[in-house]
Every structure is written in structure tokens, then in C-alpha cells.
Amino acid sequence: MNRILNRGIEHKKARWGWFFVLPSLVFFSIFSFYPIINAFYTSLFRKRLLSLRPPTFVGLDNYEYLLKSPDFWNSIKATFIFTLGTFIPIVICSLLLAAFIMSRKRFQKLFQMAFYSPAVLSSVVAATIWLLIFDPRGLANQGMNFLLGTVGTDYKWLASANMVRFSTILVYFWKYIGYFTIIYITGLASIPQSLHEAARIDGANGWKDFWYITIPLLKPTTVLVSIMSMLQCLKTFSTQYLFTQSGAPLEPINVITLNIYNTAIRDHNIGRASSMSVILFVIMLFFTWVQFRASRSGGEVDYM
């Protein structure tokens, strides 16, 4: 009798659960699933954005073209340089910053606000601000010349291939470091204080406490931060777009998303652009899976 009653309650709860997740499911289906399926379908056609003629079915020709195209491989290279150059420092530095902020007795909120504020800015505004800073007569050259004691050196922030890569990484790092720091702060706050106290009683110093207690217990947060930051980096667009519009060379920062945009909007080749987005989707899916697998290898985290 009790079992039947429990099943009835669970059923009712499940129904309400479905009811509450339905709006997000509908939203997700319309704005995510449908475009993904549509992009895959379009990628099988030769289709011009402005053409009124029906698109021609070409099977996997667009994929074959891309895999043979030096430009596409350059985009893969540019995307990976940017992603590795950005997301690894972001994960490490945001953890260190979060630990630093949590260790402060005063001004915690002030630090959080200061670090988080760039994340509130739109990427376009952020890139525009940095364009002024990276101008040859801007703050970046002035600052470097002051710090290094050089006079009138142009560090070519937007001009040389390596510097323009570094500049895009710097902008992204500056913009998102605060956001991920806040996530780490939430993770740090959820670790029971009693565990730290027990470690101290057992003779652990600050470093050992951080290394053997905090870091292992932060694993779910680290997985979340690393996946989120990696996906953000793979999807980077506006900084590279604005920089190239302002005269920076295209090749070093021609990330996949920028190539997709140019192929679709500049070249009107929507079929090929769709193939590139499908490949990017597969890359993102693969690395997310790899990170999940890697995170599971050490077992689940349990605070009890």
C-alpha cells in the first residue's frame, strides 16, 4: 500500500519536474537543437546566401574541401593556440585569485567586484577599449616602455603575428578571469570549514591544507571551470573580429568562428560555413567528453 502511495507521489513530482523543465527544453530545442540539425543538413549542400535557386546536394564535398584547405587548418591552429594560451592560465589564475580573495579578512567583496566587472562588459566594448590601449601611441606601449626602461619602442601589439595572438589572449584573460574566480570562490565556500580545521589539528600547514584538502575537494568546480572556459575559448569571435577590422593581420588570429563568419557573410558560402560549424561542434563535444572522462578517473568527491 505504502509502495503504491510512494509511487503516486513520485509520479506526481516527476510530472511537476517535467512541467518546470519544459520551457527550457522548448527553448533549447528551438534555439540549439534545431540550428545544430539545420547546420548539419545545410553542410551537405552547395548553397549561396543570396541565391534564390534551390541548393545543390553535394554530400560530404564541403567537409572534403575543408580538410584539404590550408586556410581551414590555419584556423584550427589559431583556435588551439588561443584556447590553450587562454584557458590554462584562466583555470590556474582564477583558482589562485579565488584562494587569495578567500584568505583576505577584509575587502573580499571589493576584490570580487573589481575582478568581476570586466565580465559585465560586452565583448565588443572590451575589444574596443583594448584597441585604444594597443594603439601604437596607446597605454600598452607607454606602460611597457616605462616598465622596461625602453624609450619609444613599438611593441607592435596588433601588428606582429605573435603579439597579436598574445593581445587577443590578454583581452580574453582580462575579461573572463573574474567570472571564473567567482565560480571558484563559490566552490571554496562550499568546502566545510571543519575539514580545514581537522587538517590543521593534524599538523598541516597552509600549503598542505591547500594542496591536499582544497584542491581535491574543488575537483567538481575545476571540471566546471575548465569545461566552461575551454568552450568559451573555442567559441571566441568578437575580439579577433574587431582586431582584424582595425588592421591586425588575419592569419595569426583567424580562429574557426571568424572563418565561419567570413565564409558565410563575406563569401556568401553558407554550405561551407555550416560544415565548419559542424566540425567546431564536434571538436567542442570531443574535448568536453575528454575532460569529463579525465575528471571521473580520480573518483567522486564527497565532503562526508
Type of residue at 108: Q
Q: Which is nearer to other proteins, 178 or 252 (CB)?
A: 252
* Interaction between residue 249 and other proteins (CB under 8 A): yes
56 - beta bridge partners?
46
Residue 155 has a CB neighbour count (10 Å cut-off) of 19
Q: Name which of residues 140 to 179 contact other proteins (CB under 8 A).
A: 141, 150-154, 156-161
28-36, 101-109, 134-142, 198-206 -> range binding other proteins (CB under 8 A): 134-142
**Closest approach of other proteins to the CB of residue 233, in Å:** 23
Cα–Cα distance, 142 to 136 (Å, whole number):
9
Q: Which is nearer to other proteins, 10 or 267 (CB)?
A: 267
**Given 265, 285, 290, 294, the residue binding other proteins (CB under 8 A):** 265
* Interaction between residue 64 and other proteins (CB under 8 A): no
Secondary structure letter of residue 158 according to DSSP: T
Q: Name which of residues 197 to 236 contact other proteins (CB under 8 A).
A: none
Cα–Cα distance, 35 to 163 (Å, whole number):
35
Cell of 289: 567528453
**Closest approach of other proteins to the CB of residue 74, in Å:** 11
x-marked contacts with other proteins along 71-110 as a string, rule CB under 8 A: x---------------------------------------
**Closest approach of other proteins to the CB of residue 265, in Å:** 6
Cα–Cα distance, 236 to 255 (Å, whole number):
8
* Interaction between residue 187 and other proteins (CB under 8 A): no
Q: Which is nearer to other proteins, 117 or 246 (CB)?
A: 246
Residue 91 has a CB neighbour count (10 Å cut-off) of 17
**Given 140, 191, 270, 276, the residue binding other proteins (CB under 8 A):** 270
Applying CB under 8 A, the site for other proteins has a residue count of 38
Render 65-121 in DSSP notation, one character per residue.
Answer: HHHH-HHHHHHHHHHHHHHHHHHHHHHHHHHHHHHHHHH-SS-HHHHHHHHHHHHHS
**Closest approach of other proteins to the CB of residue 205, in Å:** 49
Cα–Cα distance, 161 to 136 (Å, whole number):
15
Q: Name which of residues 3 to 62 contact other proteins (CB under 8 A).
A: 46, 48-52, 56
* Interaction between residue 262 and other proteins (CB under 8 A): yes
Residue 83 has a CB neighbour count (10 Å cut-off) of 23
Taking alpha carbons only, the member of 135, 125, 127, 118 closest to residue 240 is: 127
